[in-house]
Structure 1
Amino acid sequence: MGAAASSATAPSPVTAASAAATEAAIPGAKVAEIFIYPIKSCSGISLPSAPLRPTGLRWDREWMVVNEKGRGVTQRVEPKLAFVQVELPNEAFLEDWEPSQDSFMVLKAPGMEPLKVCLNKQHEVANGLSVWEWSGSAWDEGAEASQWFSDYLGKPSQLVRFNTASEVRQVDPDYVKEHHSTFFTDGFPFLLISQESLDSLNEHLEEPIRINRFRPNILVEGCEPFSEDLWSEIKIGRFSFLGSKLCGRCKVTTINQETGIAGREPLETLATFRSGKVIRPNGKNKGAVYFGQNLVWNWNDSSAKGSGKVLKVGDPVYVLRKVSSPAEMPA
């Protein structure tokens, strides 16, 4: 989590040699869980499968809450967002499903009546919105949604949806050479973490924590702890992904997603063995703490053509290229 730092060199695009290695690759891991977070900083949804889009998993961070200045609101300042439960129709996770006027996203939160947000309607455009380095327009989800979040947070708020008709939010070209875009993520379409990395961290903590502190899209299992640091090119099932940068973690990881209370962990413990000073002693951002890796989907790869662009729990993970140490990965 956190805004992306600048001045780094991304791993090179897929080469013929690395593509040829796919057939010989041995699955070293598999997908254990898949998560999306339809509204930025609100609760996630665990899925057995999710359609792939160049901007990320379908529906992921397509909405966000903004304050009266149009700035994106996150748990960093409003931890109560952790309690906002998001429900989408079951059919929304079919690859080619399109919503009708009777298709809704339903929001629930303590002390609030459920809010229904239509997934297919004409929107008014809200201008002057921003999240991290990006600014532009978004679709306003209307007065009822604004009032709901304003009442819940106790201050003027607005629910907006990414304006796919006119906006493109490009991934930082300092990290990704080819053109990739995303919606309201912190900067990259995908975040991958291994269960073994979480297990290793929990061995250092007095009170174990859940993966929801880190808000990944893809949780894998069956590899060595923190081996995902080294993956510069992988395949999940038949889809190619490129490692973009190690994920620097922020205050949100310290917020208990069940209580909304912030503490000092896990950042305090992670800093002892996962800081830039420790794992990237000759690099920049020595004070940053890293956990997980940001990815982009190589959607121009020939294996991504046609139908069936769906990521599934149980898909094997093939490591096609890797570096020898985290110091060699962008961060």
Structure 2
Amino acid sequence: MGVAHREYFYIGGACVVGAVGLFYAVKWIQRRIRNYRHPFEHVGVVSELYVYPVKSCRGRQVQWMQCGKRGGCSGEMQDRHFLIINAQTKHFVTARTHPRIVLIDSDVRDNVLTLTTPENTPVRVDLEKVIADKKAVTAILHGDLKQTGLDCGEQIGEWLSKVLEVEQPLQLLYYKDGLYTERSCQRRSRWFFGLAPTQDDEIAFVDLAPYMAFSNESLNELNSRYDENSEKIITTRHFRPSIVVDKCPAFDEDLWMELKIGDAEFDCYKPCARGVMTTVDPSTGEKDPDVEPLQMLREYRLAPEGKMRTIYKQSPIFGVNMGLNKEGTIRVGDEVYARYKDEPF
């Protein structure tokens, strides 16, 4: 092949690639314009709200929630602002490997964190002292990303080791703004039909997103699939949501693009993939021997075939991850409005 022919070949190939890229760009823009023309519609009401002060511990059901960029808070309880770690390896500890964590209840009042379980004497931590001591510890979270928190002291670490029945020493870390972190909430449109703006939000100790929501009917639909003689009852707490919406169809959240609740506005940017955490019974702290509800969800809630399935693999979808577009207060009973997408996910 001569030089001239090769040049024509390269130019032709570049034109084809450019044309394909332009085609998909135009389709994306058309979909974006079409979806944003959809008005907000009334979809239901808030039936439940939860704040999880300590990551993986029992959530606190609340009647109202102040929604900020890093998650919800109610009173002095801020969502996932405390993290349990292995004191030796500094790796974070969750119910995935230590399921009894879900039995630990937490409360924050008058700058004091209190942890309780049905079988143990409560332990308390003076948060003003924790801040004054400034004992910064860097933990290792998902993807070996590092994040620093303030050590809450030996007493609570020993208490956690006793409750979780482990020999290795544990520590509890307290999140404060300004400490070192390699983690963020990354909103991306990517491969699903969401049109989230490209944005990185600061987060405390959440896994992926500061908020997660689903329809109550999604849970009812899941439970309806079990045999009527089955003793399995899957509850809201199995899925650890921030917000539960009533009076809308099952899996309506698959189509949400944006939500308005009270004064707050949310960006529904990513379907929530589910894993082994859902198999931990929130009332017993034990993993389900039949790996439910994960096995049932895999029968009908896997991601669509294609790139999305390649990424999500065998992790079924239940709920939607959300970032915050506008801060505000939301309450149980508030009306919920959604801007819908034309296609799910």
TM-score, normalization: structure 1?
0.81
Structure 1 61/21 Cα, relative in aligned 2: closer, same or farther at 3 Å?
Answer: same
Distance 2:233 2:154 in 1: 41
Deviation at 1:267, TM superposition (A): 0.7
Deviation at 1:112, TM superposition (A): 2.2
Conserved 8 A contact 2:113-2:125 = yes
Hey, what does 2:153 align to over in structure 1? 142
Deviation at 1:103, TM superposition (A): 2.9
Deviation at 1:149, TM superposition (A): 1.2
The 5 A counterparts of 1:60-209 are 60-67=79-86, 68-89=88-109, 102-121=110-129, 122-133=132-143, 134-153=145-164, 154=166, 155-168=168-181, 169-174=183-188, 177-205=198-226, 206=230, 207-209=232-234
Deviation at 1:166, TM superposition (A): 2.3
Which has the greater radius of gyration?
Answer: 2
Deviation at 1:131, TM superposition (A): 1.4
Hey, what does 2:68 align to over in structure 1? 53
Hey, what does 2:13 align to over in structure 1? none
Conserved 8 A contact 1:125-1:137 = no
Conserved 8 A contact 1:123-1:141 = no
Deviation at 1:173, TM superposition (A): 4.8
Conserved 8 A contact 2:188-2:269 = no
Q: Which runs of 5+ in 2 are unaligned?
A: 1-27, 190-196
Deviation at 1:240, TM superposition (A): 1.6
Code of the aligned partner of 1:32: S
Hey, what does 2:250 align to over in structure 1? 225
Hey, what does 1:310 align to over in structure 2? 329
- For these two proteins, the number of residue pairs brought into alignment is 290
Hey, what does 2:322 align to over in structure 1? 295
CA RMSD of aligned residues (A): 2.3
Code of the aligned partner of 2:175: F
Conserved 8 A contact 1:117-1:145 = yes
Distance 1:165 1:227 in 2: 37
Structure 1 21/290 Cα, relative in aligned 2: closer, same or farther at 3 Å?
Answer: closer
Code of the aligned partner of 2:235: R
TM-score, normalization: structure 2?
0.78
Which protein is richer in helix relative to its size?
A: 2
Deviation at 1:182, TM superposition (A): 1.4
Conserved 8 A contact 1:232-1:323 = no
Deviation at 1:253, TM superposition (A): 0.5
Conserved 8 A contact 2:42-2:335 = yes
Q: Secondary structure at the match of 1:27?
A: strand
Structure 1 20/232 Cα, relative in aligned 2: closer, same or farther at 3 Å?
Answer: closer
Conserved 8 A contact 1:32-1:220 = yes
